[in-house]
Each structure stands twice: as structure tokens, then as C-alpha cells.
Structure 1
Amino acid sequence: MPKKKVTDTKIYVLDTNILLHEPLAFLSFKEHDVVVPMTVLEELDYIKDSKKDVARDARVSIRSMEDLLHNATPEQLVAGVSMAGRGSGVSAPSGTLSIFADHGLPIEQQVFTSNENDNRIINAALHLQGMKAPRQVVLVTKDINMRLKAKGAGLAHVEDYRTDQLVSDIKYLSKGYHVFPGNFWDKVKSVDSRSEGRDTIHTIDRKLLPEAYVNEFLIDESHSFAGLVESITEDSLEVLDLGYERMMGRSAWGISPKNIGQAMGMHALLDPHIDLVILTGPAGSGKTLLALAAALEMVVEKNMYDKIIVTRSTPEIAESIGFLPGTEEEKMAPWLAAITDSLEVLHKNDENVKGSMNYIMEKANIQFKSVNFMRGRSIQNAIVILDESQNLTASQLKTIITRCGEGTKLICSGNLAQIDSNYLSAVTSGLTYLVEKFKNFSGSATMNLDGVVRSRLAEFAETQL
């Protein structure tokens, strides 16, 4: 292949939050050059010794850059050290990595004169833009306000980090089901049906739904059919007939589905062959309640698992939960109130609600854990409920999923409209990444619960506010 001209390649200036979001992000820019300002190294140095969960990511990023640059002279660091050989495949980097000393810029070359870190990084990008013209200089940051400031200061190209973004808009995110208009059987031109025990499996033409994936639910508007894609070949789909009324008639721990979305979610939760269930949807759609009811059914009633581990990401202010009194479970209780609320709902008709809850928590061996302390564990034969997972990055979710050992089922739930993280949006959330990455995995199922069933007040607020 002909070698690209230098002016065809870009110069990417990275902000600190990019390297905290993905420590090896500097290797993701293919043939383009990457510049890390000195201010970014200072921020990483400060964060690596902090007690925040991102301290590990800062250390990984620093070690990776040091591994690449350790033999370079000061002159080579400024000019750029080749990243060739640091990866494989079409996305392997072939550009250079350099460190830019942004402290010594003459005052007349600084748009921002205040000594804030963001301002120094923008000043560095502006200086490179003038010095490296006509090459394109791009500032990459997840900080929306910094992107606005950089544009306002005259930087022509500012971007978010999109290497891990799999969908351009949240409306394209897989919902876990497909709705056929009218009657399903009116759309089917040819079908081959067979029985396997109690189950009926239909083999239909793949052209009916060319974008289908394994464990995708199929329903129709006339409520006459409900099925699940079991396997896919080049020209056919094998669909397990679930029966609309049968699905709506299922229950777990005394809870019955209020709509078809909940019914499909409950089917996935109770299926022992599905190791990962992802529940998305607005507040009040029943994600936590369904997950807990199914978990109790499988642990206490069916003895399929040994325990239930409930975890969630704690807000930034509480990443170190040590200031709260008591054991880890007691420290986590304020952040997992949604689980105890759901337990109360499940046992509200009992004579002694508090006694029932304590008995069930002991019987089902329910444990409250912080995501920050999940690293390094290996969880066997348990159900893990990961609540509020929309606030996690893809790398944080990977940390949790890789903890799950043999016989463990993971339930991830979250509302992409309630992201609290400063640097995540609905399209860059780890939950979105998880839905798309596991879409074609036969051991996972996704369900978007779109109906608010908490109350008419909650439903009105969700649609009108």
C-alpha cells in the first residue's frame, strides 16, 4: 500500500479523562500521531495515589506509556516515539506518541492566562494547531464544557472519544425484542414446525427478520404470538414458541408480569441457560423488582444457586465508603435502598414484614457488596444483581463480568436517562456497550422495559417532564 503523506494524518491531543476512561486509549488512533500534554501526566500522577476507583486506571496508563517511552531521549519524547508493533490487525497503531511541555508557552501564545489544568491543555492544542498547520490538530476530551471552551478559543477540531461507541444514537440500541405489525403468522410464508418434549420450535425464513440475533424475542401487535430466536443459520431462524398467554401467566416469588415487556424479561431471568440478563428502561418499569423476585425464586424455591450478591457503583462522593459505620453490608445499605424497598414490596402482605425480610435475607444469603471491592474476586454458583449499571464504563463492567465463575448468573439493570457520571452519556455508557457487544452471544439476553408500572404519577412524570 502507498505510504500516507504526513499531512493526511492527524495529531490527537488527549485530555486526562480519556486515559482514565480507557487507560490504553493512546494506542487507538491507528496511523495518526498522539500528543499527551505535561499537565495530563501531572493529573494522572495526582490521581494514581488517590483513593478513587480510577486510581488503578491512572497507574495502568502511566505504566503503559512508560513501557513505550522508557528508552527515548528527551528530544525523541518531544519529536514523537513510534507506536508501531504495539498491536495487531487493522486497528494497530503506526503513528507516534509524544509528550508536550505545555508549561513553558510564551504568554503571548496563550489564549487562557489563568493556570487551570483545562486551560493549559487547550493552550497546548491551540499552539500545536498553529505550529503544525496544515496538519489537523484534534483535542479529544469527554468534558463537554472543555469542548465548548476549546471551540470558543479558536480550536477547529474538538471531539469526544468514540472508539468504544457502538451506536450513534440511543434510539438504535437493541431492545431485545421485535414487534411485528398485525398478526405474526400473516407475515410467515413457509414454516417447518417440530416438537421437542413440551416445546414447539418453528423454522422460518431468515428474510422475515434478517437482522435477528440469538435470544431476541418476537411478538406481534395482535398478541397472538410470542417466540424466542434460538438459533440462526444462513437462511433460516429457529424460533421457540413461548405462547403469549403462557408468558403473561408466569410468576416468580408471587410477582406476575404487568405487561409483555416484563413477561419477556421474566422469561430471560428464569432461564438457566442464560448467564447474562441486561434490563434497561425508565424509572418505575420494574427492573429491580423483577430481578430480585426471579433471584429469590431460583435461590430459595428451586435451589439452583447458593446466594444472591447485590452490588452497584457508589457515587463519586462515596467511592470510599469507609466513613459510613458498620460492616461492608451496612455501609452499602444506603446505596442499595432500592433492593430493600423491593424486598418490602415482595413481602408487604406478610404479617411481620421486617421479620420476613430478615428471614429471606438470611435464607437466600443476600450479600450487599460495593463494585469497588469486586476486583480480584471469583464468584461461583451465585446470582449477581448489578443495579444502576448505567454509571459504569465498559472497563468497569468488564471487571465485574470477569469475576463471574462457573454457575453464576449476572443481572445488569440500569436507566440510560439517569447517568450521573461527568464523562458518560447514553451512547458511551458501559451499559450501552454491553448491550451491543453481547447481542450475538447465546448466553445473554437483553430486555428494554418501556412501560412505567410504578404509579400513574411516575408514568406521567416519565413522559411529560
Structure 2
Amino acid sequence: MEQDDKKLFVLDTNVLLHEPLAIYSFKEHDVVVPMTVLEELDQIKDRKRDVSRDARVAIRALEDILGGQTTPEEIVSGVPLPKREGHGDAVGSLSIFPDHQLEFTQASLPGDNNDNRIINTALHLQNQFAPRHVVLVTKDINMRLKAKGAGINLVEDYRTDQLIDDIRFLTKGFHQFEGDFWARKEHVNTETQGRHTVHRVPVKEVGEENFYTNQYLIDEDSNFCGRVLSNNDEELEILDLGRDRLLNLDAWGIKPKNVYQGMAMQALLDPDIDLVILTGPAGCGKTLLAMAAALEMVVERGLYDKVIVTRNTPEIAESIGFLPGTEEEKMAPWLAAITDTLEVLHKHDVNPSGSMNYIMDKANIQFKSINFMRGRSIQNSVVLLDECQNLTASQIKTMITRMGEGTKLICSGNLAQIDSNYLTAVTSGLTYIVERFKNFDGSANIYLNGVVRSRLAEFAEENL
């Protein structure tokens, strides 16, 4: 490839915090890291927050390439990226640009903050290497606007781990047919497998939808509800569930209020499904269903030994040490949604607080910080990972890889309530695992359509 055909990507700090190994994501093109980015990583690496780990990983990755016998001149001109497993197509170079040596011109932005220095670096390189394409990559929306206004021709978001372009196209976990599902189905083969009824229907009679394992199927007119067991592109194998049977499921005294909750409860109570992903608006019942199913499976059915509850808390590493008590007691302020749910499940008991204490002991409910889950192997447990929308893809991968034999993981979140500065609905780790796991036969994903918390919450969701 000619040198002018190779792009030059200038990385902002938030790209390396979002994906510490982002330097390997640009294939044959060259990567430039401004000195200001190294200074920001240096300031972040010692903070008592989860993001500091990502900063340290990024710094180590840069040191692995640029350390050793590399001369200062080579670092500035560019060092070829070494071969790395899983990144075989990364054959460009990496360089550090000494932006502190830049002299400001009339075209430059004032160098009074780090964002401006990085933009000035991209501007300088754009002028120096023209007509070669220089691309500034940042996850900061405002910085992208400033860069465009300053005269940088190519400004992009970092989207290597983005699987969809519009959140409207995110898999919902179910497909609803118009009318009656069984209308115009001429070649159906039905058989009984123990307590279950399984239908085999030609794919061409079902429709052009790309059906996947454990996707739920419902229709508008009949009582039909099924779950896809397999799809070989010619024949669809469907487990018959029945809408009435779903609505009569029971977990710890909780029954589904609509068919979407029924599908979620069926997946939650199925021991053959290791990962259940619940998405939906506030008040749709994600946490309540997850906790009710967890108590049912641990206490009533004895399928698991304990319940572990955890969630992402950006400021927890900094704040947790100042709170009194054990780890569980320190976590209580961030897991109030779980204790609220336990109160709802036992509000009709004679002594609700006594019931809660008894159940927390009986089900061995443990509140854990996500920061202290690394390195663990969790066996024979139900793990509730709440507020997943604020996790990156790499953070969720860290959690999922902790799950050992006989453990069921329940991930829940609302993509409309992302608090992270670096995530959007399409780049959230929750969106990532919904798309990545949709063809895995050990997982199910359900979008809980409809707010059931109260009529006030329902009106607010629809009109605010």
C-alpha cells in the first residue's frame, strides 16, 4: 500500500480508556498518540476508580511497543506494531507526538486545555502530511464538534466494538407475528418430548426473519407463544409454551403481568439457560422478576447455593472505604433497588423485616462490589448484575468470564439511563452482549415492553 493511502489516526485519551488496546484496531493504518494523552493517562492511573485500571493497561500496551531499545527518534517517527494474537491485521505503526513543542498559529485553538492541544496536534499533522488523510478519533461529542470547527477534515467516534448503528435495531429477544401464527402453516411436524411439545416448521412458511436460538415467538390473535430451539436455515424447531401457561408461571409469589414478563420468567426459571439479559424501560419489572426467580431457584427448588448481587458503581472505589461496616454493608446504598425489591416481595408478611433477614440468610444473599470480582470463580450461584447499561464491553466480559460451573447470570439494564461519560446506547456493554450472545444456545434476551410499576411511571415513560 502506498504511504498516502495509509491513514493517520490521532487518538484521544477517552478512546484508550474505553478500549485500552485500541492501538491494535486500525489494521494497516498508522496510529499517533499525542504526549498530552500520556499525561492524562498518568494522572488517571493512580485514581481510586475503576477507570484507573484501563489507564494502566493502556500505558503497559504502549510501553510493550515503545519501550526497550527504541530510540526517541523512532518513537516520534513510528514503530511497527508487533504481532498480537487476535489482532493479526494490525500491521501499521505507533508513534508519540511531542505536542508540547508545537508553536501556536492563528489557525490553532488556544492551548489552555488538553482537548485543544490534541486538536492542535491533529491540525498540525493534517497540514504536515497533506494530502494524506489524518483522522482524529475521540468519544467526546463536544470535542468532535470543536475539531470540525477548527478545520480538521476527518473526525470520528471509536466504533470498533459497536455492533449496530441505531438502537432501534437492537434485538428484542422476541418476534411478534401479525394475525394468527398458525395461519397458512401447511407442513408442521409436531412431537412430544417428555412434558414438552415441539413443532418443526419450514423456515419459508414462517417468514423472512432471521430467527435465532432461544428467540421467543408470539402472535396477535391466538394463544400461541413459543421459543426457538434450533434453526438450520430450512426448518425451525419451536418449543410450544402457550401464552396462558406463561402468564400462570409463579416465582416466589410473583406472577407475570404481561406476556413479556412471562417470557422473561420462563427464561429465568429454566436451568438450561445460563445467561438471561433483561432490558426495558424503568418500571417494567426487571429487578423484581430477577430477584423473585433467584429466590425461587435457590430457596424453593434448591438448584443453586446462593444469590450474589452486584452492579456498576463508578464512584464506589473512591467512596466505599469511607463507609462503615462490612463489604455488604458498604454496598447497601448502591443496592437499595434490591432491598426495595425484597421489601415488595415480603410486604404482606406479619413481620416484613424479620422475613427479609430470614430470607437473606436462607438464600445466602451476598452484596458484592464489581471491583472485587476479578480473579474469582463463582460456582453454583445465581448472579444478579444490575445497571449493566453503564458497563463497557470489556467490563462485562470480565464479569461473564468469572461465572463457573452451575452458575446462572442475570444481566439487567435500561439503555435510556446511561450515566457514563464515554458510553451511548449503541456502545454500551449491554448492547454488545445482547448482539454477541443472541446465537448462543445457553442465553436468552428479553425486552420487557411496558411499564407496570404504576400508572404515574407509565405516563412519565411515555410522555416525558
Query: TM-score, normalized by length of structure 2?
Result: 0.97
Give how far 1:120 is off: 0.9
Size of the alignment, in residue pairs? 461
| Ranges of 4+ aligned residues in structure 1 off by more than 6 Å | none
**What are the Cα deviations for residues 379-421 of structure 1, in whole angstroms up to 9, with x where unaligned?**
1100000010100000100111111111000000000000000
2:430 match:
431
**SS of corresponding position for 1:297:** helix
Question: Is 1:157–2:169 an aligned residue pair?
Answer: no
Give how far 1:115 is off: 2.6
The 5 Å alignment of 1:268-417 reads: 268-316=267-315, 319-417=318-416
- Give me the whole-angstrom Cα distance separating, in 1, the residues matched to 2:403 and 2:416: 27
**What are the Cα deviations for residues 363-390 of structure 1, in whole angstroms up to 9, with x where unaligned?**
1010111111111111110000001010
Question: Is 1:86–2:78 an aligned residue pair?
Answer: no
Please say if residues 277 and 444 of structure 2, whose CA atoms lie closer than 8 Å, have aligned partners that are also in contact. yes
**What are the Cα deviations for residues 74-133 of structure 1, in whole angstroms up to 9, with x where unaligned?**
1111111112533557x6111111110000111226622243111111111111111111
Identity of matched residues, %? 68
One-letter code of the match for 1:85?
K
- Give me the whole-angstrom Cα distance separating, in 2, the residues matched to 1:380 and 1:177: 30
Please say if residues 183 and 220 of structure 1, whose CA atoms lie closer than 8 Å, have aligned partners that are also in contact. yes
One-letter code of the match for 2:334?
W
**SS of corresponding position for 1:115:** coil
Q: 1:182 aligns with which of 170, 179, 182?
A: 179
2:443 match:
444
**SS of corresponding position for 1:103:** helix
Query: TM-score, normalized by length of structure 1?
Result: 0.97
1:129 match:
126
One-letter code of the match for 2:27?
K
One-letter code of the match for 2:218?
I
1:250 match:
249
Q: Which moved more, 1:103-112 or 1:28-37?
A: 103-112
- Give me the whole-angstrom Cα distance separating, in 1, the residues matched to 2:55 and 2:76: 22
- Give me the whole-angstrom Cα distance separating, in 1, the residues matched to 2:184 and 2:109: 63
- Give me the whole-angstrom Cα distance separating, in 1, the residues matched to 2:364 and 2:210: 41
Question: Is 1:421–2:420 an aligned residue pair?
Answer: yes
Question: Is 1:147–2:144 an aligned residue pair?
Answer: yes
**SS of corresponding position for 1:56:** helix
Question: Is 1:199–2:188 an aligned residue pair?
Answer: no
Give how far 1:34 is off: 0.5
- Give me the whole-angstrom Cα distance separating, in 2, the residues matched to 1:394 and 1:321: 24
2:53 match:
56
**What are the Cα deviations for residues 19-39 of structure 1, in whole angstroms up to 9, with x where unaligned?**
111111010000111000001
5+ residue gaps, structure 1, are none
Residues 368, 223 of structure 1: alpha-carbon distance in 2 compared, 3 angstrom cutoff? farther
**What are the Cα deviations for residues 225-265 of structure 1, in whole angstroms up to 9, with x where unaligned?**
00000112131111000111111111100000000000000
**SS of corresponding position for 1:106:** coil
**SS of corresponding position for 1:107:** coil
**SS of corresponding position for 1:300:** helix
- Give me the whole-angstrom Cα distance separating, in 2, the residues matched to 1:461 and 1:223: 31
- Give me the whole-angstrom Cα distance separating, in 1, the residues matched to 2:80 and 2:182: 59
Give how far 1:168 is off: 0.5
- Give me the whole-angstrom Cα distance separating, in 2, the residues matched to 1:67 and 1:73: 14
- Give me the whole-angstrom Cα distance separating, in 2, the residues matched to 1:54 and 1:200: 49
- Give me the whole-angstrom Cα distance separating, in 2, the residues matched to 1:235 and 1:255: 39
Please say if residues 49 and 314 of structure 2, whose CA atoms lie closer than 8 Å, have aligned partners that are also in contact. no
One-letter code of the match for 1:212?
F
The 5 Å alignment of 1:104-115 reads: 104-108=101-105, 111-115=108-112
Give how far 1:458 is off: 0.3
Q: Which moved more, 1:307-316 or 1:431-440?
A: 307-316
- Give me the whole-angstrom Cα distance separating, in 1, the residues matched to 2:349 and 2:98: 67
1:101 match:
98
- Give me the whole-angstrom Cα distance separating, in 2, the residues matched to 1:125 and 1:456: 52
Please say if residues 53 and 319 of structure 1, whose CA atoms lie closer than 8 Å, have aligned partners that are also in contact. no
One-letter code of the match for 1:30?
K
Q: 1:6 aligns with which of 3, 6, 16?
A: 3
**SS of corresponding position for 1:185:** coil
- Give me the whole-angstrom Cα distance separating, in 1, the residues matched to 2:362 and 2:61: 46
Please say if residues 265 and 447 of structure 1, whose CA atoms lie closer than 8 Å, have aligned partners that are also in contact. yes
One-letter code of the match for 1:405?
G
One-letter code of the match for 1:457?
L
**SS of corresponding position for 1:124:** helix
1:77 match:
75
One-letter code of the match for 1:232?
N
**SS of corresponding position for 2:411:** strand
Please say if residues 139 and 159 of structure 1, whose CA atoms lie closer than 8 Å, have aligned partners that are also in contact. yes
Q: Which moved more, 1:327-336 or 1:46-55?
A: 46-55
Query: What RMSD in Å do the two structures reach over aligned CA positions?
Result: 1.3
1:217 match:
216
Please say if residues 125 and 137 of structure 1, whose CA atoms lie closer than 8 Å, have aligned partners that are also in contact. yes
**What are the Cα deviations for residues 163-186 of structure 1, in whole angstroms up to 9, with x where unaligned?**
000011001111000001000001
Q: Which moved more, 1:208-217 or 1:254-263?
A: 208-217
Please say if residues 109 and 127 of structure 1, whose CA atoms lie closer than 8 Å, have aligned partners that are also in contact. no
- Give me the whole-angstrom Cα distance separating, in 1, the residues matched to 2:140 and 2:344: 40
